[in-house]
Amino acid sequence: MEDKVHNAFEICLKEMFLRVGLTYPNPEFTSDPEWYRKKTWTEQQQTDFIKWMKKFLYSTFKKKGWRKKQVDLEVGMFILNYGWKTSNDYIIPKVIKNEIPINN
């Protein structure tokens, strides 16, 4: 099972890299311990990737007993640990329109 999980997350990394124009594996790019901070994507790109990853993991591990709640947790931890930085182009208009309050 552990090998299958590892392989699934390798596929997820490959997809994530493709979405920002990179290939994976990419030893030159990932040799920096903070490689995941070198690229950005929009909030919409991240949302689309999360949807893809949830669907992929659920279909891959449903027969192994993974529930949607576990998939949500795994995807959230993956994005937290390895996800690209999200560009601020979606935050600034919301701040200007006062949709996101600024707390002092």
**Residue 8, C-beta contacts closer than 8 angstroms, at least 6 positions apart:** 56, 57, 60, 61
- Give the domain ranges of the chain: 2-96
pLDDT at 26 over 70: yes
pTM of the model: 0.79
Buried b (16+ CB within 10 A) or exposed e, 81-94: eebbebeeeeeeee
Residue 86's SS3 state is: strand
Q: Which residues pair with 41 in a beta bridge?
A: 86
| pLDDT (tens digit per residue) in 34-93 | 998 899 998 889 999 999 999 999 999 988 888 888 999 999 999 999 999 988 655 555
Please answer whether residues 79 and 50 qualify as being in contact, where contact means their C-beta atoms are separated by less than 8 angstroms.
yes
Pick from 16, 42, 45: nearest CA to 29: 16
Looking at residue 104, what is its pLDDT?
43
E-assigned strands of 22-82? 40-41
| pLDDT (tens digit per residue) in 63-75 | 888 888 899 999 9
